[in-house]
Chain A
Amino acid sequence: MSRFKRIASNYIFIRVVRALLTVFIVATLTFFIVRLMPGNPVEIYIGQLISQYGMSFQDAKNAAAALFSLDLDAPLFEQYLHYMRNLSRGDFGVSFLSQGTPVSTMIVAYLPWTIFSVGISILISFSLGIILGMIAAYRRGGFFDLITSTIAAILSAIPNYLIGILLLIIIGVQLGLIPVSAMRGTVSPGITPGFTWTFIKDIFSHALLPILTYVISTIGGWILSMKSSTLNTLGEDYVTVAKARGLSEMRIIFSYVGRNAILPLFTSLTMQMGFLMGGSALIESIFVYKGIGWALGASISQRDYPVMQAVFLIITVAVIVANFIADSFYSKLDPRIKVGGEQ
């Protein structure tokens, strides 16, 4: 096979191309929505400046251009190129409300917190969920299975933001276990970042409620799908043969049943990462946890368009990257996925 063909049919290569393409399309879409839709933010802003500050059209246009990092006099296509060039340099424009703050600074300040909370939540939820799901499968029909599956079904049906509000009410207000207002924000004021115990304890206590919300709302799904997948795997011939070969129960559970039962769950993993990043808009707003989701919520309610459009783009990119990582991980785990074009 020619060298080019071999590279082109490489699984990873295809995924990278697809990821970049999606980012490109979303960035383009964002641009066109902002510029072209009726009632698009640029026009609205110009109108606002004119009516509120009595600016001339030209002055207003210049101000808008500066704010959105756009050259409003140039033909549309040139504006588009200008926008894309800025994006690739990490220039997202400047925030409306916090005049002068580059949006990129805000993103750098908020994004890590969301990745932190969502990332830890997925880890906990997935790990716990698959363990419980496997146990439920092995003890099918028993007491453990009944209780676990019922609770899992109930939890997975409730919208995650409602679980967040419930947690806030029950733990914060009714039981008074957590000083809710003090827990706003991602970190207590005055604490210096670093690998100190104080800092780590502080960020975890602030992230506790959001993480708890994510975990409770997603663990049910993992339990149920792992249970189903495990039951399927247990019926496979190679499990019977493994028993016939005299392998120990532990070995069979981990390397024969477990490793195979997990595989189908990976597609859900990628979907869930996107879903949680999306849900962070609401959940972080509920807890006033200052991550990228909160930023989206705040910018929407304040109609801070540059921030809104940039945050939206960043959230999408984060999801794409996360999906890509999960996919690569999956292709390592399942040898049946053809990675290269050989053979």
Chain B
Amino acid sequence: MDTRILSIEDLSIEYSNVRGKVKAVRDVKLDLYKGENLALIGESGSGKTTLGTAIIRLLPHSGYIKKGKIIYMGNGKEYNIAQFSETELRQFRWKEIAMVFQSALNSFNPVLKVWDQIFDTAKAHGLNNRAIVREKAIDVLRFVQLDPERVINSYPHELSGGMRQRVLIALSLFLEPKILILDEPTTALDILTQRNIIELLRIIKEDMGLSMIFISHDLSLAAELADRVATMYAGAIVELGNVNDIFYHPRHPYTLGLIKAVPTVSSSFRELYSIPGSPPDLINFIPGCKFYPRCEYKIKDCEMTEPILVEVEPRHFVACLRYKEIADGR
């Protein structure tokens, strides 16, 4: 039975730049299933944020979808988001798919009260009754463990960073979307607040039936909350599998490197590891595997042949020529 809710097919996204075309996302194929949490992990420039924002077509001016489809399966029908008109997008956004941006510090209009911004959102989707909206707002704010009365009448600058992040999460749940995309939800927050937000996200995962996509460079977030993990490099998915497979038997050198690079509480200073080299040039690509210059497992073939995703065990895909030889990390 097809429990997919989102299906991305052959998606390629580019940005126009004075130096040329930045190929930020290349031929990505990815499915999201109902009720699952998917983590998109990668460093800056890997294309994960571009992919995330493209799902709701919120690319900046210079970005555009070069080819591919973004199929959303909801309400018994299939829609290609990539072909939505402006009007369709406006109705679709936030109602079916909502996005929580990186650190809510500046996500709210400074001159409007929180209530006005909630009501704005409700009105934009046809909910005009103040009383109903107010009740719903209070419910959802309480759900994220905030004091509704206090928050609703405040201006954004009167709330702390952590509170604003919660309000943004609450707002994202307001219209009961089917998919929630979170871009670096815990970056730029202090450790305690991070923990609180992660707990909140865990509760959301357990209580509500929605699917979530986490975009992050932070592996620990994936480990805590994700069901499946996809690692991205140079605009393509290099490994995709469920969270246990990825963490316990990673098959791609990049994933391996990412895991090794996370310092543990018990590791010593000398054991700190970082992936050598620097991020790739997204305008002028080298032929072959894009990770080649930084890879510890490279062989001659890697230089000219770009690997494609191969299913190495049930529902675990890797794009590497040497996946068979790569031992179980650690």
Contacts and interface: CB of A to CB of B under 8 A. Distances in A.
Interface of A: 236-238, 240-248, 251, 255-256, 259-260, 263, 333-336, 343
B34 to A, nearest CB: 22
A259 B125 contact: no
A247 B94 CA distance: 10
Contacts of A246: 89-95, 121, 124-125
B120 A245 contact: yes
For the residues of A in contact with B, the DSSP-based class is helix
7 contacts: A241-B168, A245-B171, A246-B91, A247-B90, A260-B111, A335-B111, A336-B155
Contacts of B90: 246-248
Contacts of B112: 255
Nearest to A240: B58
Contacts of B101: 237, 240-241, 244
A182 B107 CA distance: 58
A245 B54 CA distance: 15
B109 interface: yes
Contact of B124 (A237, A251, A343): A251
For the residues of B in contact with A, the DSSP-based class is mixed
B56 interface: yes
B108 A238 contact: yes
A247 B58 contact: no
Contacts of A336: 110, 155, 157
A335 B98 contact: no
A123 B196 CA distance: 50
B284 to A, nearest CB: 27
Nearest to B93: A246
B145 interface: no
A35 B56 CA distance: 73
Nearest to B120: A247
Contacts of B91: 246
Please indicate which of the listed interface residues B90, B92, B98, B155 has the most CB atoms of chain A within 10 Å of its own CB.
B90
A283 to B, nearest CB: 35
Contact of B111 (A244, A247, A334): A334
Contact of B56 (A242, A244, A333, A334): A244
B99 interface: yes
Interface in B80-99: 89-95, 98-99
B107 A335 contact: no
A242 to B, nearest CB: 7
A244 B95 CA distance: 10
B106 interface: yes
A260 to B, nearest CB: 6
A131 B92 CA distance: 30
Given A237-B101, A336-B155, A336-B157, A243 B93 contact: yes
Interface string B216-240: 0000000000000000000000000
